Amino acid sequence: MHTVRPAGATDVPFLARGVAELIAEIRGAAAEPADDGALAVAQDLVAGRLDGAALVAWSPDGRRHGLITANRLRSIRTRGPYALIQELWVAPEGRALGVGAALISALCNWARSAGCAMVEVGLPLPQSPVHANTYHRYTQWGFTANGPRMRKIVRTNDDPDRR
Ligand SMILES: CC(C)(COP(=O)(O)OP(=O)(O)OC[C@H]1O[C@@H](n2cnc3c(N)ncnc32)[C@H](O)[C@@H]1OP(=O)(O)O)[C@@H](O)C(=O)NCCC(=O)NCCS
């Protein structure tokens, strides 16, 4: 049985590396090393300098097997706070054991206690190798489709897809 705990300073390298692995899986490419920018944001998140949560799933034998991060936002349309999941990743050796479900459950509990009425997430594009699995899992975990998310890169020298 895995346990889910809030991330601390010693979890920062795992958070940054896990998110690098997540990005690689979404792209179907090899993972690149976590850069200083990713480490800095992970540090801010675990230190409470960002309004959000970072949770880590631990295996019974004390290994980090998964992570979930989210930010708390406020919008007019939601008439108050809601949570936006930024990253969810379970290490391959920890999959199909309920770790993803445990991370989602813990994140929803955090969101509820933080006054959020709703948790949102953006999924990878349909052509991503992980799209179908991700859509299936989130549906299983009680999420419903809410229309595609779109974006426009506004600093061409800083395209996150080119990093
Ligand atoms: C998507 C992802 C987070 C799911 O994590 P996970 O820990 O494998 O998810 P779960 O274990 O909760 O559920 C997966 C399956 O295991 C099953 N399962 C749950 N608990 C179980 C248990 N105790 N024993 C055996 N199987 C179990 C679930 O029923 C489900 O199987 P099913 O769909 O065939 O019914 C993980 O595959 C991942 O990190 N993928 C790559 C990155 C990614 O796509 N991230 C998503 C955000 S973009």
Question: What spacing in Å lies between the alpha carbon of 98 and ligand 1's midpoint?
Answer: 6
d(Cα 28, Cα 15) in Å, to the nearest integer? 20
Per DSSP bridges, beta strands 119-121 and 80-90 are: parallel
Task: Tell me if residue 58 falls in helix, strand or coil.
Answer: strand
Q: How many separate domains does the chain show? A: 1
- Residue 158: which CATH number? 3.40.630.30
Decide: 22 in ligand 1 pocket, CB within 6 A.
Answer: yes
Residue numbers of the domain that contains 105: 3-162
Query: pLDDT tens digits for the chain (163 residues)?
Result: 899 999 999 999 999 999 999 999 999 999 999 999 999 999 999 999 999 999 999 999 999 999 999 999 999 999 999 999 999 999 999 999 999 999 999 999 999 999 999 999 999 999 999 999 999 999 999 999 999 999 999 987 666 665 4
Question: What spacing in Å lies between the alpha carbon of 71 and ligand 1's midpoint?
Answer: 22
Residues with Cβ within 8 Å of residue 137, at least 6 apart in sequence:
100
The protein residue with its alpha carbon nearest to ligand 1, atom 5, reads 100
- Residue the block writes with tokens 């299983």: 140
Ligand 1 atom with the shortest distance to the CA of 88: 47
